[in-house]
Amino acid sequence: FIVLQKATPSGVLSNRSLYTVFISGENAIHGATGENSDKLCSFTKKALHIQLDSLPEVPTLVDVPCLSAQMDDSLLTIVKSEIFKHGTVASRPPVQIEELNEKPGSILVRWCKVDDDFIPQDYRLQYCKSNSSHFEDVYVGSETEFIVLHIDPNVDYQFRVCARGDGRQEWSPWSVSQIGRTTLVPHEWAPGFDGYSLSSRRNIALRNDSQPGGVLYSRAPTYYCGQTLTFRIETVGPVDKRDSIGVCVEQQNGCDSLQRDKAVCVSTNGAVFVNGKEMTNQLPAVTSGSAVTFDMEAVNLGPSNNNEGGNFKLRVTISSNNREVVFDWVLDQRCGSLYFGCSFSYPGWKVLVF
């Protein structure tokens, strides 16, 4: 609430006067009878006649009336406790959404702290479709970015974030809602392949007990250069040296692994294979919760015929567990998009792709 009180000639209120002003305003809010109640009703009536379509002139800061007070620590504690009974006052939320990046069937949300004095302990991200007012939690943690999955293409979504200060239980005010969408279709595994069970959205594949195994490919070549392709291992099973996750130029039925020509892959023990040949550099072994990412960009080799052999090169970066391997992958023809795939010899492996 707002209390207007004429200051003393010195411009400073005493401890007792300040506390009286605070209590008087609180009593008026709670409907106390008498003069305070009449003043509150009078103020309410005036507010109803304010024209909201016109704005007053904004005065300079030096012309704004100011009520200041000096108090000892004992009264300061009392005033703070009374204020916190009703809430807190903030000039702006301490965190704001900084960036929304579209991904296949998902959106990468990044946020940042905008209040230098605020020390965050946790962040809380919510989202909902733009035609809905029901926000739901999608992330709570200490990171400042998160990929929101299961996003329908060409549909607007609202995102907002708040934070919890260090040592506090309550959450801060919400940030300004931001609207984002993705135009990229989600990655999906090809259905109907013996040896693998798929989730309803076909973005999770589970190696089951059926035989035979072989390579499970994507439904279509949906991975393009300039994007990041991520495999997240949800659960693990027994390891075989032929196990692999990666990308390839074309599907080759009958193969039991991606460790072959026209393919780049990582085995479950961390070995990297390019066109069937094992590289010297190696990544950490894959474990439950591991995320393996593929990033590719075309390397310009200068003027040449697109159909000329050996003149199409991709700069490949594979990352896992804070380690990465970078190399050039030379192909005999230009390709606009790639398939992704996985192969596991034994059941128990579950992998999410996005």
State pLDDT tens for residues 202-248: 999 999 988 777 899 999 999 999 999 999 999 999 999 999 999 99
DSSP for residue 63: G
Least confident of 75-79, 82-86, 200-204, 246-250: 82-86
What is the C-alpha separation between 105 and 227, in angstroms, rounded? 13
Q: Please, which residues have CB within 8 angstroms of residue 68's CB and are 6 or more apart in sequence?
A: 11, 12
Torsion over CA: 20, 22, 24, 30 (sign): negative
Instruction: Provide the terminal-to-terminal Cα distance of the chain, rounded to the nearest Å.
Output: 49
* pLDDT at site 42: 62
| Average pLDDT of the segment spanning 154-160 | 95
| Dihedrals phi, psi of 61, to nearest 5 degrees | -60, -35
pLDDT digits (tens, 9 = 90+) for 251-310: 988 888 999 999 999 999 999 999 999 999 999 999 999 999 999 998 865 554 444 445
Q: Tell the burial category of 135 from Cβ atoms under 10 Å away from its Cβ (0-12, 13-18, 19+).
A: middle
Cα angle vertex 338, ends 336, 340, to 5°? 165
Extract the tokens encoding 5: 């009180």
* DSSP per residue, 13-40: E-HHHHHHHHHHHHHHHTT--SHHHHHH
Using pLDDT thresholds of 50, 70 and 90, give the confidence band for residue 77.
Answer: confident
Angle at 296 between CA 294 and CA 298, to 5 degrees: 170
For residue 95, give both structure tokens.
Answer: 């965190």
Question: What is the reported pLDDT for 300?
Answer: 67
pLDDT for the residue numbered 87: 65
Residue 39 confidence (pLDDT): 60
Average the pLDDT over each of 51-65, 103-117, 197-211, 282-296 and give the range with the smallest value.
Answer: 51-65
Q: Would you say the C-alpha torsion 238, 244, 245, 250 has a positive or negative sign?
A: negative
Q: Which amino acid does the sequence have at 350?
A: K
136, 158 Cβ separation under 8 angstroms: no
Q: What pLDDT was estimated at residue 68?
A: 63
Question: Residue 239 in contact with residue 197, Cβ under 8 Å?
Answer: no
Could you give the CA distance from residue 148 to residue 11 in angstroms, rounded to a whole number? 54
Q: Report if pTM > 0.75.
A: no
| Per-residue confidence band for 102, with pLDDT thresholds at 50, 70 and 90 | very high
* Sheet containing 95-103, strands listed edge to edge, beginning at the edge strand earlier in sequence: 95-103, 106-113, 145-148
